[in-house]
Chain A
Amino acid sequence: MGKMVSREDKLLYVINELSKSQNFDGRLKLMKSMFFLEHLNLENDKLTPEHLFSDSQFIIYKFGPFSFDVMNDMIKLSSNNLIQEFCISGYNIVPMMTKKGESRIESIKKSLSDDELKRIEKIREMFDDFSGKELEEKSLEYLGITHEDKEDLMGEPVEDLIEEL
Chain B
Amino acid sequence: MTRFYVATFRESIKQANRKRKAEMIYWSLFDPTSWEIGAEFGMPETAIRKNIIDRLKDRKFGKFSKKFKKMSRSERDKYIDKFFYTGNAINNILSTNLNEIGLTTRPQSPTGGFDIRVMKRGSCVGCIGIKRFVSSLNLIDDISGHYEKIFSCDNNAETCKHLVLCFVPLFGTESPKRMHKLLTAYTPFLFNMETKKHDGETKIHFIPVDENGNSVNGDVISETENIIKKFFIALEA
Contact = CB atoms under 8 A, between A and B. Distances in A.
B164 to A, nearest CB: 17
Given A151-B111, A155-B82, A68 B45 contact: yes
A87 interface: yes
A61 B37 contact: no
Given A27-B36, A154-B111, 6 more contacts: A61-B85, A68-B45, A87-B38, A132-B36, A155-B83, A155-B85
B45 A26 contact: no
A87 B38 CA distance: 8
B154 interface: no
Contacts of A75: 44-45
Contact of B38 (A66, A92, A152, A155): A92
A62 B45 contact: no
Contacts of A112: none
B138 A91 contact: yes
9 contacts: A59-B81, A61-B32, A62-B31, A63-B36, A66-B33, A68-B45, A90-B137, A92-B38, A154-B82
Contacts of B37: 27-28, 63, 91
Interface string A132-157: 10000000000000000001101111
Contacts of B83: 155
The secondary structure that dominates the B interface is loop
Contacts of A72: 44-46
B53 to A, nearest CB: 14
A151 B87 CA distance: 12
B86 interface: yes
Contacts of B81: 59, 68, 155
Interface string A57-93: 0010111001010011001000000000001001111
A45 B46 CA distance: 34
Interface residues of A, number: 25
B214 to A, nearest CB: 27
Contacts of B38: 26-27, 87, 90-93
B59 interface: no
A1 to B, nearest CB: 33
Contacts of A15: none
B36 A66 contact: yes
A30 to B, nearest CB: 9
A18 interface: no
A157 B82 CA distance: 10
Given A27-B35, A63-B37, A91 B137 contact: yes
A63 B33 contact: yes
Interface centre among B31, B35, B46, B78 (most CB of A within 10 A): B35
A96 interface: no
B112 interface: yes
A31 interface: yes
Interface in B36-84: 36-38, 44-46, 78, 81-83
B180 to A, nearest CB: 23
